[in-house]
Amino acid sequence: MSLKSFLKKKLVSPELDEQLEKIEMPVGTLGYDPWGFNTDTNKIVLSLFANIYHKYFRVETHGIDNVPPKGSALIIANHSGQLPIDGTLIAYSLANRKKSPRYPRAMIERFFPTVPFLGNFLNQVGAVLGDPVNCARMLDSNEAVIVFPEGIRGSGKLYRDRYQLQRFGSGFVHLAMKHNTPIIPVGVVGCEETIPAIANISPLAKLLGIPYVPVALPAVLPAKVILNFGKPIHFDNEDLTEEQVTRRVEKVKSAINGLIAKGLEERQGVFQ
């Protein structure tokens, strides 16, 4: 028996297995898809992640049924927290959804594939290199895709800039229009406080070839996380100028800002 089969047998409960079996994924005969997603690894990780999700971050979700049960969907959220914890929590919340669970695919920054172990691990649990070609193919195959249009500008920002949305790329609106895909805005509250950074050591980051090296506590803090899923936004596929597309980007940004404000109001305290 391979290590993976052993871990799956030991860790994955029959209930979780049954829940995840409901999700249809276009994988090959040995459980992999072309982006490296692996059903068994995913089940093991989700079973290990259950406690982190429920007990450590005590995640609360609102409006999760705004993500359609099937068909392509772009889940657009604010990015924060140095590590891709926010994407993992959104993905877990949808895989764990009682009605019509889904495995959404998170688009990750371009430097992750170059990091040993982490790049492969992220691929095996469904994350994908944030490339427009990858995203377009996933939408064509009716997948739900998580995109953080702020990219590293969002994840690498300092604690003093928390909950201030950085510049959004416009690629996701072009993709939504071209592939006739609804955009589900998500406001993530809590991840800003998981790894609060006070500075970024840019020269070291440059030397190591990574986007940022934060000055932060060497720990992930147990901040309470609230995920607010907004109503789907549909954009017609019209021939627009880049300025008109930017206006559509701003519309999504404004929806996310509203959801963040709602989450901050709902929160009783950072760690409560």
Partner 1 sequence: MSTTPKPSPEKIEAKAKKASKKKTVLVTGAAGALAQQVINRLRGKYQIVAVDFRELTFLSDDIPSYKIDFNKRVFEDLFKAYSFDSVIHLGRISSGEETRLRRYNANVLGTQKLLDLSHKYGIANVIVLSTYHVYGASAYNPALIDETAPLKAAELTQDLVDSVELENLANIYLWRYPDLNITILRPCNIVGPGVKNTISRLLTNTISPALMGFSPIMQFIHIDDMADAIALAHKQSKRGVYNVAPNDWIAYQDALSHANCTPVPIPSVPPILPKAITKIMRLKMFPSYLINYFKYPVVINGQAFEEKFGFKAKRPLREIFRYYREVKK
Residues that bind partner 1 (CB under 8 A): 2, 28-30, 32-36, 38, 110-111, 113-120, 123-124, 128-129, 131, 133-134, 137
Minimum CB separation of residue 257 from partner 1 in Å reads: 31
Sequence-distant (6+) residues with CB within 8 A of 199 are 158, 214, 215
d(CA 128, CA 111): 12
Cα separation values, 1 from 4, 5, 9, 156, Å:
8, 6, 10, 41
Q: Which of 171, 263 has the CB closer to partner 1? A: 171
Minimum CB separation of residue 258 from partner 1 in Å reads: 33
d(CA 5, CA 150): 38
Q: Which of 5, 164 has the CB closer to partner 1? A: 5
Minimum CB separation of residue 14 from partner 1 in Å reads: 25
Strand partners, 74: 145, 183
Minimum CB separation of residue 72 from partner 1 in Å reads: 16
Cα separation values, 90 from 5, 6, 102, 103, 264, Å:
26, 27, 11, 10, 17
Burial of 247 (0-12, 13-18, 19+ CB in 10 A): exposed
Task: Kindly report the number of other CB atoms within 10 A of residue 11's CB atom.
Answer: 15
Q: Are 94 and 64 in contact (CB under 8 A)?
A: yes
Minimum CB separation of residue 117 from partner 1 in Å reads: 4
Minimum CB separation of residue 116 from partner 1 in Å reads: 3
Helix (H, G, I), strand (E, B), or coil: what is residue 199?
strand
